[in-house]
């Protein structure tokens, strides 16, 4: 009812593909802990990496609402696979917001078609939530820059061909930040070991080292010193995508749980006859619905270029990820011992849910952002 005919069509294709082609491998993807290339090929063949990217840059040319709808469907069966969609969106966003025509043609086209993966390197050992304290430096030397630094927790590092790095071009905290494109294979760009993670184990996370990496001036996205502003706008666009991922994980867990409590009998009754179980199901359904609506509202605001989207993007990410953690935990509870073992997908979903409260800005940081905007608005 809320969605246009085109979005409903994209959603139904994504749902079918998720169920038939992604879900069967989800357990194996988690166990292997490697990039699920076969799944990513399916996503690419169906245009899922570029749903909201204009057609002239290899995308489908639809909108953010369709994009978050696809991410929810994929995440509902395999969160690891959905991380490639959200990370690709994170890498594409700075190009669309501030890239030159040449950069968009050269890089966005191969990212949006899913020909190659992209990574976005912000976090450093000493700079997580406090992004403006990054130390990776980019020093201009004539027609090129030299980049030196160390990034941590970079999704798809080593697997991606295209990297966007957040660097420091002057001492000014926020006005001294600039973004650069670095291609895999550039001398001085190397990768650390794969992190062993609690969840989203089929999404590879590595450290990145930049040692005297030389990139031409044309590889800078936006003007020197504009990087922080671009980055904040990127997050406005990508936080609802993480919200959609969280909504998908929660929905996947809820649907398994619902089937289980209808089948499973204790005290000579199916579990769903017990009022305490019913209340848990009702809370799950209600909160998942609320998550989806917050995600859709933020996506709609982005499609309408609404400048007030900042708080809404953070609300979508923060609420949906808190719900994902709560719903997956309660779904494990309702499966009892079976929820805790790997024969059922619930323990995986609970592990996968946790990261959505941490990356793309922790939920404490989202609350800081929401409070800042509502207080500013109240003072106007
Ligand atoms: C699996 C995974 C994938 C990731 N992918 C990427 C990626 O692709 N690219 C990238 O750049 N980064 C990535 N990250 C990094 C991620 O974004 C950071 O871990 C996250 O932003 C938090 O930073 P931190 O880990 O340094 O924690 P800190 O910033 O050290 O925070 C520690 C704790 O303190 C709290 N805290 C900090 N400041 C405040 C404050 N002002 N008020 C209240 N509480 C506060 C935090 O909420 C948190 O609970 C990834 C991380 C993981 C685990």
| Burial (0-12, 13-18, 19+ Cβ within 10 Å), 283 | middle
Q: pLDDT tens digits, residue range 173-184? A: 999 999 999 999
Q: How far is CA 216 from the centre of its chain?
A: 29
Ligand 1 atom showing the smallest separation from residue 363 Cα: 47
CA-to-CA distance for 80 and 159, rounded, in angstroms?
A: 14
- Identify the residue whose C-alpha is closest to ligand 1 atom 14: 153
pLDDT of residue 1: 65
Q: Report which protein residue has its CA nearest ligand 1's atom 2.
A: 153
| Among protein residues, the one whose CA lies closest to atom 44 of ligand 1 | 364
Give strand pairing partners of 368: none
* pLDDT value for 81: 98
List the beta bridge partners of residue 209. Answer: 150, 190
Q: DSSP H helical segments within the chain, as ranges?
A: 5-17, 26-32, 37-45, 64-77, 79-98, 101-103, 109-112, 227-263, 275-303, 309-334, 337-340, 346-355, 363-379
CB contact at 8 A, 201 and 78: no
Rounded to the nearest angstrom, the distance between the alpha carbon of 208 and the centre of ligand 1 is 16
Q: What's the 130 CA to ligand 1 centre distance in angstroms?
A: 9
Span from the CA of 128 to the centroid of ligand 1 (angstroms) = 5
Which residues line ligand 1 at a C-beta cut-off of 6 Å?
Answer: 87, 119-123, 128-129, 153-155, 197, 205, 355, 358-359, 361-362, 364-365, 368
Q: What is the C-alpha to C-alpha distance for residues 202 and 358, in angstroms, rounded to an integer?
A: 17
How remote is the CA of residue 138 from the centroid of ligand 1, in Å?
23
Kindly state the tokens that stand for 183.
């291609």
CA distance 301 to 200: 29
The residues near 374 (Cβ < 8 Å, ≥ 6 apart) are 311
What are the tens digits of pLDDT across the range 266-322? 999 999 999 999 999 999 999 999 999 999 999 999 999 999 999 999 999 999 999
Tell me if 44 sits within 8 A of 51, measured CB to CB: no
**127 has pLDDT over 70:** yes
Of 352, 358, 369, 371, which is best to mutate to test ligand 1, by the most ligand atoms within 8 angstroms of its C-beta?
358
CB 266 within 8 A of CB 334: no
Query: What are the structural domain ranges in the chain?
Result: 5-117, 119-225, 228-379
| pLDDT at residue 2 tops 90 | no
347-366 mean pLDDT: 98
Mutate to test the pocket of ligand 1, among 359, 368, 369, 370 (most ligand atoms within 8 A of CB): 359
Spell out the CATH class of 119-225. Answer: mainly beta
Tokens 């639809």 label which residue?
Answer: 62
Above 70 in pLDDT, residue 379?
Answer: yes
* Residue 352 CA, ligand 1 centroid: distance in Å: 16
Q: Which atom of ligand 1 is nearest to the CA of 364?
A: 47
Given a cut of 80, is residue 241 above it in pLDDT? yes
How large is the average pLDDT for residues 341-345?
Answer: 96
Mean pLDDT over all residues of the chain? 97
Distance CA 11, CA 127 (A): 37
Q: Tell me, which fold does domain 228-379 have in CATH?
A: Butyryl-CoA Dehydrogenase, subunit A; domain 3 (1.20.140)
The residues that are catalytic are 360
Q: Looking at the domain 5-117, which fold is it? A: Butyryl-Coa Dehydrogenase, subunit A; domain 1 (1.10.540)
In sequence order, the β-bridge partners of residue 284 are none
Beta bridge partners of 167: 178
* 330-354 mean pLDDT: 98
In this structure, are strands 177-183 and 162-168 parallel, antiparallel, or unpaired? antiparallel
């Amino acid at each position: 009812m809320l969605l246009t005919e085109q979005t409903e069509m994209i959603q139904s294709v994504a749902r079918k593909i998720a169920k038939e082609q992604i879900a069967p491998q989800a357990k194996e993807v988690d166990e292997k802990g490697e990039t699920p290339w076969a799944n990513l090929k399916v996503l690419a063949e169906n245009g899922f990496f570029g749903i909201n990217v204009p057609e002239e840059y290899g995308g489908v040319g639809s909108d953010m609402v369709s994009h978050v709808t696809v991410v929810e469907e994929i995440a509902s069966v395999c969160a690891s696979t959905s991380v490639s969609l959200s990370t690709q969106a994170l890498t594409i966003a700075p190009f669309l917001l501030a890239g030159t025509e040449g950069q968009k043609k050269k890089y966005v086209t191969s990212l949006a078609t899913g020909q190659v993966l992209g990574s976005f390197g912000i976090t450093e050992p000493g700079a997580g939530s406090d992004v403006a304290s990054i130390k990776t430096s980019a020093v201009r030397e004539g027609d090129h820059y030299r980049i030196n630094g160390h990034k941590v927790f970079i999704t798809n590092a080593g697997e991606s061909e295209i990297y966007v790095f957040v660097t420091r071009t002057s001492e000014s905290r926020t006005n001294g930040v600039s973004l650069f494109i670095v291609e895999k294979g550039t001398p001085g760009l190397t990768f650390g070991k794969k992190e062993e993670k609690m969840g989203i184990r089929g999404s590879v996370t590595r450290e990145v080292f930049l040692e005297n990496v030389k990139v031409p001036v044309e590889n800078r996205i936006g003007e020197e010193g504009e990087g922080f502003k671009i980055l904040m706008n990127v997050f406005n666009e990508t936080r609802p995508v993480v919200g959609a991922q969280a909504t998908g994980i929660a929905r996947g867990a809820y649907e398994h749980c619902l089937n289980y409590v209808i089948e499973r009998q204790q005290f000579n009754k199916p579990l769903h006859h017990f009022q305490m179980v019913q209340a848990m199901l009702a809370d799950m359904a209600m909160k998942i619905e609320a998550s989806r609506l917050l995600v859709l509202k933020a996506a709609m605001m982005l499609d309408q270029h609404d400048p007030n989207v900042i708080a809404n993007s953070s609300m979508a990410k923060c609420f949906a990820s808190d719900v994902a953690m709560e719903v997956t935990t309660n779904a494990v509870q309702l499966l009892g011992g079976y929820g805790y073992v790997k024969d059922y997908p619930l323990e995986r979903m609970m592990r996968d849910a946790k990261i959505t409260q941490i990356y793309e800005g922790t939920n404490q940081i989202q609350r800081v952002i929401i409070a800042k905007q509502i207080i500013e608005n109240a003072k106007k």
